[in-house]
Copies of this chain bind each other. A is one copy, B any other.
Amino acid sequence: MKIRYAALFSVAAACLTPALSAPALADTLVDNVQGTTMLENGKVGSFTGLWIDDDGTIKEVLKRGDRRPSGVDFLLDGKGQFVMPGIIDAHAHVMGIGFGALTLDLSQTGSLAEAQAAIAAYAAQNPNNRWIIGRGWNQEKWGLGRFPTAAELDAIVPDRPVWLERVDGHAGWANSAAMKLAGVNASSVSPAGGRIEKLANSKMPAGVFVDSAQSLIAAKLPAPRPEDRDLALQKAQEILLRSGITGVADMGTSIEDWQSYRRAGDGGWLNVRIMAYAGGVEAMELIGGPGPSPWLYQDRLRLNGVKLYLDGALGSRGAWLKEPYADDAGNRGLALTMPEKLRNLMSRAALDRFQIAVHAIGDGANSEVLSAIEELSGTYTGDRRWRIEHAQIVDPAELALFGKHGIIASMQPVHQTSDRTMAEARLGRGRLAGAYAWNSIARAGAPLAFGSDAPVESVDPFAGLAASFTRMDGAGQPFGGWQPQERVNREQALNAFTYGGAFAGFGEGRFGRLVKGERADFILVDRDFMMASPEAIRETKVLQTWVGGRRVYDRTTPETER
């Protein structure tokens, strides 16, 4: 079967080469598949074929026995494989995924020594990089019991500055060359909202910088050039599409990121749908102007609103808790934004009808956002779709507020499986009732939108899907699931990773479900999500990814030909 790519491509190209009339495009039939989708009634539907219009929307969803259209121009025989909607990742960092793929990845290292070896090898392979930049380390996973030090980097890379972000992005690890270049020394003091780790019994910086202190070093990193950004975007799209993700909420879009997205749209190479949330209100105003942007490039890009940070992460004890950390008496974490300022920022955005997504991890932070929404809801009425990002630890007494205000809980199932032992340590066993409380939040009547937080976690949505209804990790631990009462069922999991993500970004009706009139964004996979075991789901192979009726990833095509 031969798919005429060139003609399909011109759907987008027609807008870019307007001297030409749009050519008469052609219908596509995807047939002989075992299709699954969420339906408008919230139930799971099945189908065996999709008839796709010349503009990439679904003309008819076909069941066994339905008459097939005659004379379509393109036919894909699914050969009995499985089709599901393209995954919508409701919380990720698109450029971070791309840059992460272009820089040193330490997320697979199991010990400090392994990390040191990887850093040494990368430095040797990249002699012209002025800086060695990477991410993904996790001293917990290494079993180190402490943060690593600058000296441990100096031993490997003494000559060039090194800057390595922790897996959660809430801490960074520098060598001495980087600290020298940044002018950080014994007299440096921790900035508000951050901490310079110090050597034991010393004023000397140890090499790790937590939360806002990261910028002491990070501000000295050479800025990527526009072509680097475009390369990162291209790389991010490759990674997302081969993982089965066709839409993503980009959390913390900068004007430079946005310009890259627009270049991709203008140039016809924007294949992943991006719902953008500007990183702060200044970027929001610069990107969106007087309000959210329109849907651009046939629903491939929209500036929805703004991402605000209220606290840090649990791992680095930056999450704002109501009571002190169980493993750090007297420390309740940090509010990165003061309550009054949070309300001011939210008001400013809401006034111009921007959607507001607030990062809140600890129960203190969640309580604060919930009360801010409670207050602002009186003034800013209508369909606001307030979003809380992560919503990891919520005071059980406050769960009902999610439902009351229709607050979207934008959560990342894999965080639960990654974090559980750490969460137990940070909170103690007695304070876990509102931890990663997917089911409770859903029962409170709040819409769930699931995502990955990539590159903090892997983009792989099948790990998230499997975790959603098991609360078990890839090793099947803990048996029976961690706090299993907070599982959701398979239907809810699929919904939160497809329709839920679209709804959370005002994209419902445009994409997220395989129903008549929506964009034909789907993936062809080698097993049935609704029937496979959790272990099998984690092994799902994405065979093809289609966006807007156009095939944008094909597993059988070698990387070099794509």
Which residues does A use to contact B, with CB under 8 Å?
14-16, 18-22, 53-55, 57, 225-227, 229-230, 255-256, 259-260, 262-263, 266-267, 285-290, 293-294, 296-299, 510, 517
Knowing A260-B289, A263-B289, A289-B226 are in contact, say whether A298-B18 is a contact too (CB < 8 A): yes
Of B18, B285, B287, the residue contacting A299 (CB under 8 A) is B18
Q: Chain B residues near A54 (CB, 8 Å)?
A: 21
Q: Which of B227, B294, B299 contacts A289 (CB 8 A)?
A: B227
A290 x B18 contact (CB < 8 A) = no
- Taking a contact as CB atoms under 8 Å apart, the answer to whether B255 and A286 are in contact is yes
> Known contacts being A19-B55, A19-B510, is A267 close to B290, with CB within 8 Å?
no
- A40 CB, nearest partner CB in chain B, Å: 17
> Which B residue's beta carbon lies closest to that of A21?
B55
Docked Cα-Cα span, A230 to B352, in Å, equals: 15
What's the Cα separation between A296 and B263 when bound, in Å?
Answer: 11
Partner of A227, one of B229, B263, B290: B290
Instruction: Give the shortest distance, in Å, between A499 (CB) and chain B (any CB).
Output: 18
User: Are A267 and B286 closer than 8 Å at their CB atoms?
Assistant: no
Give min CB distance, A302 to chain B, whole Å: 10
Q: Contact at B22–A22, with CB atoms within 8 Å? A: yes
Residues of B contacting A298 with CB < 8 Å? Answer: 18-19
- Residues in B with CB closer than 8 Å to A285 are 225-226
Min CB distance A462 to B, Å, is 30
**A/B interface sample: 8 pairs, CB < 8 A:** A19-B57, A225-B290, A259-B286, A259-B287, A262-B262, A263-B293, A266-B293, A266-B296
Report A95 CB to chain B, min CB distance, Å.
13
Q: Across chains A and B, which 10 residue pairs bring their CB atoms closest together, nearest first?
A: A226-B289, A18-B298, A15-B15, A227-B290, A226-B290, A22-B22, A263-B289, A266-B294, A21-B55, A259-B289
Q: How many copies does the complex hold?
A: 2
Q: Which of chain B's residues has its CB closest to A293's CB?
A: B266
A16, B286: Cβ atoms under 8 Å? no
CB distance from A256 to the nearest CB of B (A): 7
How far is the CB of A439 from the nearest CB of chain B, in Å?
35
Beyond A225-B285, A259-B289: 4 further Cβ-contacts under 8 Å? A15-B18, A19-B517, A20-B55, A229-B289
Name the residue on B nearest A11 (C-beta). Answer: B18
Contact A299/B19 with A259-B289, A294-B266 known, Cβ cut-off 8 Å:
yes
A288 to B260, CA, bound (A): 9
Q: How far is the CA of A266 from the CA of B16 in the complex (A)?
A: 13
Q: Which of B16, B55, B260, B288 contacts A294 (CB 8 A)?
A: B16
Query: What is the distance, in angstroms, from A378's C-beta to the closest C-beta of chain B?
Result: 24
Return A213 CB to nearest CB of chain B, in Å.
28
Write the nearest CB–CB distance from A289 to chain B, whole angstroms.
Answer: 3
Q: Who on chain B is nearest to A260 by CB?
A: B289
A192 to chain B, nearest CB (A): 26
Instruction: Find out whether the CB atom of A289 lies under 8 angstroms from the CB atom of B19.
Output: no
Nearest Cβ in chain B — how far from A11, in angstroms? 8
Whole-angstrom CA separation of A20 from B299 in the bound complex: 12
Residue of B nearest to A268 (CB): B294
Residues of the B chain whose Cβ atoms lie less than 8 Å from the Cβ of A286: 255-256, 259
> A21 to chain B: which residues have CB within 8 Å?
53-55
Contacts of A256 in B (CB 8 A): 286
Chain B residue at smallest Cβ distance from A56: B18
**In the complex, A160→B464 CA distance in Å?**
57
Residues of B within 8 A of A287 (CB): 259
**Across-interface contacts of A259 in B (CB, < 8 A):** 286-287, 289
CA distance A230 to B14 in the complex (A): 27
Asked if A290 and B16 sit within 8 Å, CB to CB, the answer is: no
Tell me the minimal C-beta distance from A47 to chain B in angstroms.
21
Give, as a whole number of angstroms, the nearest-CB distance from A531 to chain B. Answer: 33
Point out the residues of chain B lying under 8 angstroms from A22, CB to CB.
14, 22
How far, in whole Å, are A517 and B20 apart by their CA atoms in the complex?
10
User: Do A267 and B294 touch (CB < 8 A)?
Assistant: yes
CB distance from A260 to the nearest CB of B (A): 7
User: In the complex, what distance in Å separates the CA atom of A503 from the CA atom of B54?
Assistant: 37
Closest to A263 in B: B289
Known: A55-B21, A262-B262, A298-B18. Is A290-B230 also a contact (CB below 8 A)?
yes
**Closest B residue by C-beta to A20:** B55
| A361 smallest CB distance to B (angstroms) | 32
A25 closest partner in B (C-beta): B21
Let me know if B18 and A55 touch, CB within 8 A: yes
Query: A289, B230: Cβ atoms under 8 Å?
Result: yes
A507 CB to nearest chain B CB (Å): 12
A327–B296 alpha-carbon span in the complex (Å): 57
